[in-house]
Structure 1
Amino acid sequence: MIKRCFMVAAFMTALALISLSINYFFSVGIWVYQVFALPGIWFLTFFSEEINFWPKLALLLSGQFILTAIAAYFAFYVLRWIKQFQQHRTSAGR
């Protein structure tokens, strides 16, 4: 389950990096960047705005990865619990 969480987090971090690159180089205000990079943007709110670009990018991507991995872990845990509950309910009804 941890491996799947890290794969989801890596995929979402890559999407955030791609959308950040498009937003930065073409300077278009795309809403996709704000949606995909929401965990990273939220993580950046705990730090000062006066930091340089590269440390800010590293913080954004690390926050994106960490928060997405935690969210994916809880989502997979809840889905596994629901699946076990349904199997238990189905087998108890027989």
Structure 2
Amino acid sequence: MKRFFVYILATRKDGPLYVGVTSDLPTRIHEHRTHSIPDFTARYNIDRLVWFERHEDAEGAILREKRIKRGWREWKVALIEAHNPEWLDRFAEIAA
């Protein structure tokens, strides 16, 4: 069964945030970290996975991503800190 992920990347707590959606989270995070795609995350060196959420279908994941992107920064910070108060890189959780 294919799973989908909504995720947030950051450089640090007070730095820029990036919200994305993918069906292959480890590969997508690797792309962000290696800057293989010249985009916003490459330009600002945003590569720390600070939050992610699994979804069973693409439609639900895309809707969630859009809601998060429309939200205020303070709301995104609260979402991250509810599960990751230290803003640690959670890549090891998905790479195993």
So what's the TM-score if we normalise by structure 2?
Answer: 0.27
Normalising by structure 1, report the TM-score: 0.27
Higher strand share: 2
Is the helix fraction higher in 1 or 2? 1
